[in-house]
């Protein structure tokens, strides 16, 4: 419940990676291709390809060109790519319930006596605000890829 889809996960992962390559500390900006990201993160190449295509279509990234040395770059600065935009590109308009999209409202035969629509929209609003307030930049937690989370390891390795 409330789970991101794999595609959304992959998208965030990829964007974060690209952001690090282009804007990270000591970064040497360059074009990155699908294969590189897929191998880096161990995700199915073809699926990631599709995800990136979608992101490109929504201008979050730009396909540099085809052929050898082709690839993608971010379409804007990391701080200008919000989590909400990413999710929306991948999954279509966000909404806790169908009736938050106007075009579906007519199909809901309980609109009239639906008392939960309003409070639901309120929740949804807050969630959206949250997702809109967070960008790829916020995911660029410096360089260290290895952050030991103590809950993984049984005994106090953290020190």
Partner DNA sequence: TCTAGTCAAGAGTATTTTGGTCGGAGACTA
Partner DNA sequence: TAGTCTCCGACCAAAATACTCTTGACTAGA
Binding positions for DNA, rule: CB under 7 A: 1, 5-7, 33-35, 43-47, 49-50, 52-53, 56-57, 63-72, 91
In whole angstroms, the minimum distance from the beta carbon of 92 to DNA comes to 8
List of residues contacting a copy of itself (CB under 8 A): 1-5, 8-9, 12-13, 16-17, 20, 40-42, 83, 87-88, 90-92, 94-98, 100, 102, 105-106, 109-123, 125-127, 129-132, 134, 138-141, 145-147, 149, 151-152, 157-158
CA dist 112 and 134 (Å) reads: 35
Q: Which is nearer to DNA, 64 or 76 (CB)?
A: 64
3-state secondary structure of 25: coil
- DSSP letters of 27-73? -----B-HHHHHHHHT--HHHHHHHHHHHHHTTSEEEEESSTT-EEE
**With 0-12 CB in 10 A as exposed, 13-18 as middle and 19+ as buried, what is 112?**
exposed
Q: Which does 74 bind (CB under 5 to 8 A by kind): a copy of itself, DNA, none?
A: none
């Amino acid at each position: 419940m409330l789970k991101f889809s794999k595609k959304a996960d992959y998208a965030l992962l990829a964007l974060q990676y690209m952001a690090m390559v282009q804007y990270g500390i000591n970064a040497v900006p360059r074009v990155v291709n699908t294969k590189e990201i897929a191998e880096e993160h161990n995700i199915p190449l073809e699926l990631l390809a599709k995800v990136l295509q979608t992101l490109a279509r929504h201008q979050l990234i730009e396909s540099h060109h085809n052929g050898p040395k082709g690839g993608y770059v971010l379409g804007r600065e990391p701080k200008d790519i919000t989590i909400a935009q990413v999710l929306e590109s991948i999954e279509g308009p966000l909404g806790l319930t169908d009736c938050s999209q106007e075009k579906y409202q007519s199909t809901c035969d309980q609109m009239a006596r639906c008392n939960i629509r309003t409070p639901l929209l309120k929740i949804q609003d807050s969630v959206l605000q949250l997702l809109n307030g967070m960008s790829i930049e916020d995911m660029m937690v410096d360089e260290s890829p290895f952050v030991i989370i103590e809950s993984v390891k049984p005994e106090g390795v953290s020190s």
